[in-house]
Amino acid sequence: MKRKFGMAAIWAAAATVGLNAHPALAETQGVSNDRILLGTHLDLSGPVAAGMPFVANGMKMRVDEANAKGGVNGRKIELMIEDSGYQPAKAARAVQKLVLRDKVFAVVMSFGTGTSLAGYRVAAKAGVPHVFPWSGVAGPFHAKNNPLSFTYIVNYDWGTAAGVSWAVRELGAKKVGVLYQDDLFGKLVLKGVATGLAVHGQKIAAKAGFKPGSVDLSSQLASLRKAGVDLVILGTIVRETIGAYAGAQKIGWKVKMMTTIPGRNQVVTLLAGKAKIALDGLYGIGQWRIHGRTTKNKRAIAFIGAYMAKYKRPPTAESMVAYANMDWVIQGLSKAGRNLTAKSFADAMRSMTYKDPFGNPDLRLDKGNHASPQSVAIDRVRNGAWERLTPAITSIK
């Protein structure tokens, strides 16, 4: 039976979970006189582990900056990171540890859809804020309009639909196939492809699914090739994005491919480059700008320099997103004031317009606590790096 979370019940939980006394103030779970404890879970050992240092470093970089300036309202921030292994059951255990044993104030920027959803249920039951999971599946994270749940990533179905509609219009695609991860993420990709095609009076010509963590995609590629598709939409993340594109090249299949939001990332091009796999020509639907060393954005230039000095390697766009989202969280904590509670933090987050430092649109948290407005753009790999092709796309047409 699915558990439903009403607003009154969640506020009650937030008011009673983990409270303890202090001479100066009543302290919320994870908030002491001199510390705010935050937690997250990332895939440190599973199929997308290669990208996690970039995410973790972006988060930690913003936390370190805040702490170097005295913290937030006199409190230093401590970030605890647990391993989900990209497995929902393991993620649930990680959040149980963070929430019930470590007593974190909030779970922030957990990675993955199934993993984040599993952990979200634990956090919601305990009345702990769950903020900006790396998932474009917003609906389940806002059961009964949970006032402590905030999402950032463009909804996968909407973003995919916008990209597919562009591809039909601009690339002249006539028979579109889908290679998708067989989970909630993949199902939303399928929904988005169907929606984008319907705008042009088309339907999905063929589809092939794979289980998360699959290594061999040859049979799926063969079935799509047999169907005669001229564009393949990839509901893939890192390893499978590379494997699908390289697999098509290996069998001499010169078909256009477009990966969706999770697969259009710099880890894909970095890993492919190290393996000497050419991804040039791969299209990608992306939410945020990718800044390289040639960027003209002054904040991005400063960030890249500081990141390289601190971690001895270039950042990815995901590093910048993690940094920006942690910045948003820190601003919310600051605005909530010294008497920090789950409610004061949630109210602060909803009252803000976030000014992204790296040239992405300004965002607010709408009535469903999802960052808006939603927008995507189309990139393409050229000379081993993502290159933007379009301005922001804000509607499906």
Cα-based torsion angle of the residue sequence 187, 191, 194, 198 in order, rounded to the nearest 10 degrees? 180
- Do the Cβ atoms of 150 and 365 come closer than 8 Å? yes
Res 142: pLDDT: 87
Instruction: Give the global pTM.
Output: 0.85
Specify the residue for token string 């993420």: 185
Specify the residue for token string 């289980």: 211
Specify the residue for token string 């794979």: 210
Strand 363-365 with 353-354, pairing: antiparallel
Cα-based torsion angle of the residue sequence 237, 109, 119, 94 in order, rounded to the nearest 10 degrees? 100
**Cα–Cα distance for residue pair 285/269, rounded to 1 Å:** 14
Question: Tokens standing for 138?
Answer: 């917003």
Res 368: pLDDT: 84
- Domain ranges in the chain are 7-154+299-365, 156-286+376-388
Specify the residue for token string 């590629």: 221
- Do the Cβ atoms of 277 and 246 come closer than 8 Å? yes
CA atoms within 13 A of residue 15's CA, in its CB half-sphere: 6
The CATH classification number of 156-286+376-388 equals 3.40.50.2300
The CATH classification number of 7-154+299-365 equals 3.40.50.2300
Q: SS3 string of 127-145?
A: CCCEECCECCCCHHHHHHH
Chunked into runs of 10 residues, the chain (397 residues) has average pLDDT values of: 43 43 54 97 94 96 98 98 97 98 98 95 96 93 88 96 98 98 94 98 98 90 98 95 96 97 93 95 96 88 96 94 98 97 96 94 89 95 95 93
Amino acid code (one letter) for 190? L
Specify the residue for token string 């290669």: 50
Q: Which residues of 37-76 are buried (b: 16+ CB within 10 A; e: fewer)?
A: bbbbbbbbebbbbebbbbbbbbbbbbbeebeeeebbeebb
Residues contacting residue 139 through CB under 8 Å, at least 6 positions apart: none
Question: Tokens standing for 155?
Answer: 């909804």
Cβ neighbours, 10 Å, residue 230: 14
Res 3: pLDDT: 42
